[in-house]
Amino acid sequence: MKPVRIALLGCGTVGGGVVKLLLRNPDKYERILGAPLQLAVVADRSLKPDDVPGLPAKLITRDAIAAVTRPDIDIVVELFGGHEPARALIMKALAAGKDVVTGNKALLAEHGGEIFREAGKHGLAVGFEASVGGGVPIIRTLREALAGDRQRAVYGIVNGTCNSILTTMTENGVEFGTALADAQAKGLAEANPATDVEGHDSAHKLCLLVTLAFGVLVKPAQIYTEGITRITQADIEYARELGCVIKLLAIGKDDDGAVEARVHPTMIPERHLLAGVGGAYNAIYIHGDALGATMYSGLGAGEMPSATAVMADVLEIARHRMAEGSARTHAFGFPIHLMKGASVKPMDDVVCEYYLRFAARDKPGVLGAIASVLGKHGLSIASVIQKDRGKASTVPVIMRTHGAPERSLKRALAEMRKKKIVQSAPAFIRIEEKL
């Protein structure tokens, strides 16, 4: 049988893993396909032959455009990352009749509609399993295994860097800066970790999860995004007293067409399955009407987990190429030309329970004044923790509220600051009790 030939764009961490798998498993892949799977060219501006053991120097090129338009190439694997030149190269590959595999969540979150429409116009496939959850097969699960059900909610721990930092803070009793430095020393965080710790990476991934789960298109600008940089050890400890742990969650909910899409630190019950997902692991917890709750977990990044996801897409697409006339799967499980933009609920309208941390004067009447303002704006108190009374002029006051719209909370906190009921800007963290 004629071999299926691959052009690889980018041979960094994940690209190197793809090369290793292709060199390690040629017999297995040929048995799966009934034909050889061949790496024909690797386009990378800085790659040297010795960087990936076993990679022939003759396969390396600096000319990515020539690589994606070669007539003997069947599948283009884009692992450059970023928006450009990745977008332009993918569009050129599709125009030249090549199927595409990518792990580029930032690109797909912003330009996925354009890319998938172009693929549909040419009857081509775009695989993107590696874009969310690393080696966790969540894209294929939502698109295929759960297609018969209606999904109501998706909760994702989808950034291993943040999860590792929060795990270190929880287990070792250290502050954010120390936990971040530890993650950087272990290679779990970049030298500039802003995209991860400020929540943007999770927001990109949530765009794809919302589209797969609910069948609507959403852009990063529509997603409320808040990172973990303001989480303190005090918050970790008080969460424990409330029977909770703090996780950075990517949350998508479908309330009969009104979609919630948000990324922020969230307190969840310590008994919940997501609470036990530690370190660099990812997990996606899904609620369906018929199936109920299911969870999918595994290593969310790294060379081999992500390379495994890339190869799963390559093999699936290669199977379609081998079976002449077979229909290609819709990338999101829905015909792209029928999909509409999401109507995303404003954050002010989102109803949550809240953890509140105040710095208050240690004198009579302050607690009552706080409760009065909260009640005035429709927030009722579920529990109160007050410590260190009599030890300092300012003491921490911790409150947990019942559910209320975020608009009401913001108005209450603004009034407290204006009236100087509390000493500094109050901190709050949203609580998801019933995931």
What tokens appear for 102 in the block?
């990518």
DSSP state of 394: E
Same domain? 112 vs 73: yes
220-242 pLDDT, tens digit each: 999 999 999 999 999 999 999 99
Token duo for residue 136? 């966790």
C-alpha to C-alpha distance for 388 and 7, rounded to whole angstroms: 64
122 and 148 both lie in a single domain: no
Same domain, 146 and 286: yes
Q: State both tokens at 294.
A: 């299911």
Averaged over 206-212, what is the pLDDT?
96
Residue-level pLDDT at 390: 53
Are residues 295 and 313 part of one domain? Answer: no
- Are 112 and 166 contained in the same domain? no
How would you classify the pairing of strands 75-78 and 4-9? Answer: parallel
Which of these three, 319, 339, 359, is where a domain ends?
A: 339
* C-alpha closest to that of 128 among 142, 108, 147, 111: 108
CA distance linking residue 433 with residue 112, whole number of Å: 33
- The total number of structural domains in the chain stands at 3
Instruction: Spot the catalytic one: 98, 105, 205, 253.
Output: 205
| 144: CATH | 3.30.360.10
d(CA 89, CA 142): 27
Task: List the CATH number of the domain containing 367.
Answer: 3.30.70.260
Cα 112 to the center of its chain, rounded Å? 15
**Whole-angstrom distance, CA of residue 142 vs CA of residue 3:** 30
pLDDT tens digits, one per residue of 334-385: 777 778 888 899 999 999 999 999 988 777 788 889 999 999 999 999 999 8
Q: Is residue 205 among the annotated active site residues?
A: yes
**Average pLDDT of the residues in 134-163:** 95
Pick from 87-91, 144-148, 184-188: least confident: 184-188
Quick one: average pLDDT of 83-100? 96
Residue % of the chain over a pLDDT of 70: 97
Residue type, 33: L
On whether both 234 and 264 belong to a single domain, the answer is yes
Instruction: Please provide the average confidence, as pLDDT, over all residues in the chain.
Output: 92
Sequence-ordered strand ranges (E) for 270-350? 281-288, 292-299, 340-341
143 and 289 fall within a common domain:
yes
Amino acid (1-letter code) at residue 124 = L
Same domain, 168 and 241: yes
pLDDT of 391 strictly over 70 = no
212 and 260, same structural domain?
yes
Using the predicted structure, report yes or no on whether residue 38 has a pLDDT greater than 70: yes
Which of 317, 279, 270 minimizes the C-alpha distance to 297? Answer: 279
Q: What are the tens digits of pLDDT across the range 335-344?
A: 777 788 888 9
Least confidently predicted of 78-87, 133-142, 322-331, 359-368: 322-331
Q: Quote the percentage of the chain above a pLDDT of 90.
A: 77
Residue 240 CB neighbours (<10 A): 13
pLDDT at 334: 78
My answer on whether 329 and 366 are in the same domain is no
pLDDT band at 256 (very low <50, low <70, confident <90, very high): confident
Q: For residue 257, is pLDDT > 90?
A: no
Of the candidates 315, 252, 264, the one whose C-alpha atom is nearest the C-alpha of residue 159 is 264
Q: Which helix (H) or strand (E) holds 7?
A: strand 4-9
Domain that holds residue 19: 4-134+303-339
Are 363 and 314 within one domain? no
Residues 95 and 149 in one domain: no
Q: pTM surpassing 0.95?
A: no
Domain-terminating residue out of 299, 331, 355: 299
Q: Which of 88, 82, 81 is nearest to 64 (CA)?
A: 88
Cα gap 372→149, rounded to integer Å: 45
pLDDT for residue 258 is more than 90: no
Q: How far apart are CA 186 and CA 207, in angstroms?
A: 29
Tokens 């959403």, located at residue: 218
End-to-end Cα spacing for the chain: 50
pLDDT for the residue numbered 388 = 65
∠ CA 285-291-292 to the nearest 5 degrees? Answer: 50
Question: Would the pLDDT of 325 be above 60?
Answer: no
Mean pLDDT of 285-297: 97
Q: What is the pLDDT of residues 400-423, one digit of tens each?
A: 999 999 999 999 999 998 888 887
